[in-house]
């Protein structure tokens, strides 16, 4: 009999409750940013994905749950309403976990808040992003980005929703993408860390739910919501990164 292929054990380190969606809405009953990201990358928690086995850890609760790094192959840190600079009690233990993930050479994906947290944990700096960026933005890719996204990728289009940004990336980081207002849209460190400010996992209905919560007087007015994004292309590339495969 053929041996079953070992699936990638992916830990999603959830940093925030998102909201209770009404039943039957496009995003089902997702309550956490991490559920949205897990659903996007690997079909969700407890779903029979051929390549991934996904587990969720609530790292920002009163009693944070942290995984044992050696039990997993890959880690993802999604978005959050928190700001790395807020000094929440769970931020430094999470930063230490990030450093341990890097020491053990596990795959690490950061998205939005995760991007800023990884930067902070590994010695870079992050800070405010005035105005709040909300809408679809076209990223200008650098040539090193081809390693993760395939040759000839000059732009990637994704949803953005952030009031903070990476100011200077950590030592050893290579910048993979930028926009005029956010020079460090994406960075990589070696083979194992890939981090981005945008939300490849977001959808238009999700952005429409978020929109009323954004401070209206401090938000970008030049970005559209209904432009087509490179969501599927990004999804395949991120799966390949986590699985240690060449880009699609």
Choosing from 53, 137, 185, 201, the catalytic residue is: 201
Respond yes or no: is residue 185 known to be catalytic. no
Tell me what percent of the residues of the chain surpass a pLDDT of 90.
63
Question: What average pLDDT does this structure show over 99-123?
Answer: 97
Question: What average pLDDT does this structure show over 143-156?
Answer: 94
Q: Which helix (H) or strand (E) holds 159?
A: strand 155-168
The pairing of strands 155-168 and 125-141 is antiparallel
Choosing from 8, 15, 112, 164, the catalytic residue is: 112
Residue tagged 């929109």 (tokens): 211
The 3-state DSSP composition of the chain as helix, strand, coil percent (nearest 5) reads: 30, 30, 45
Q: What is the pLDDT of residue 2?
A: 53
Question: What average pLDDT does this structure show over 55-82?
Answer: 90
What CA–CA distance (Å, rounded) separates 2 from 4? 6
Respond yes or no: is residue 120 known to be catalytic. no
Is the per-residue pLDDT at 20 higher than 70? no
Respond yes or no: is residue 199 known to be catalytic. yes
| Closest alpha carbon to 243 in 21, 50, 44 | 50
Q: What is the pLDDT of residue 90?
A: 84
Average pLDDT, the chain: 88
- The residue among 35 and 106 whose pLDDT is bigger is 106
Is the per-residue pLDDT at 192 higher than 60? yes
């Amino acid at each position: 009999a053929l041996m079953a292929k070992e699936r990638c054990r992916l830990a999603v380190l959830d940093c925030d409750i998102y909201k209770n969606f009404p039943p039957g809405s496009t995003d089902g009953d997702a309550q956490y940013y991490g559920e949205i990201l897990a659903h996007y990358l690997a079909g969700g928690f407890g779903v029979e994905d051929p390549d991934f086995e996904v587990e969720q850890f609530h790292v920002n609760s009163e009693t944070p749950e942290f995984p044992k790094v050696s039990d997993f192959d890959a880690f993802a840190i999604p978005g959050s309403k928190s700001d790395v600079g807020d000094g929440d009690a769970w931020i430094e233990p999470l930063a230490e976990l990030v450093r341990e993930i890097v020491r053990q050479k596990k795959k690490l994906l950061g998205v939005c808040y995760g991007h800023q947290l990884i930067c902070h944990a590994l010695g870079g700096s992050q800070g405010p992003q005035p105005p709040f960026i909300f809408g679809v933005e076209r990223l200008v890719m650098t040539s090193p980005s081809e390693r993760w996204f395939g040759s000839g990728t000059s732009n990637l289009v994704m949803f953005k929703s952030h009031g903070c940004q990476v100011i200077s990336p950590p030592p050893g980081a290579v910048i993979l993408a930028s926009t005029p207002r956010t020079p460090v849209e994406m960075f990589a460190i070696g083979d194992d860390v890939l981090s981005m400010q945008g939300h490849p996992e977001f959808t238009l209905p999700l952005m429409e739910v978020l929109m009323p919560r954004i401070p209206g007087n401090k938000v970008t007015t030049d970005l559209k919501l209904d432009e087509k994004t490179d969501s599927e292309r990004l999804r395949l590339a991120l799966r390949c990164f986590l699985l240690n495969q060449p880009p699609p």
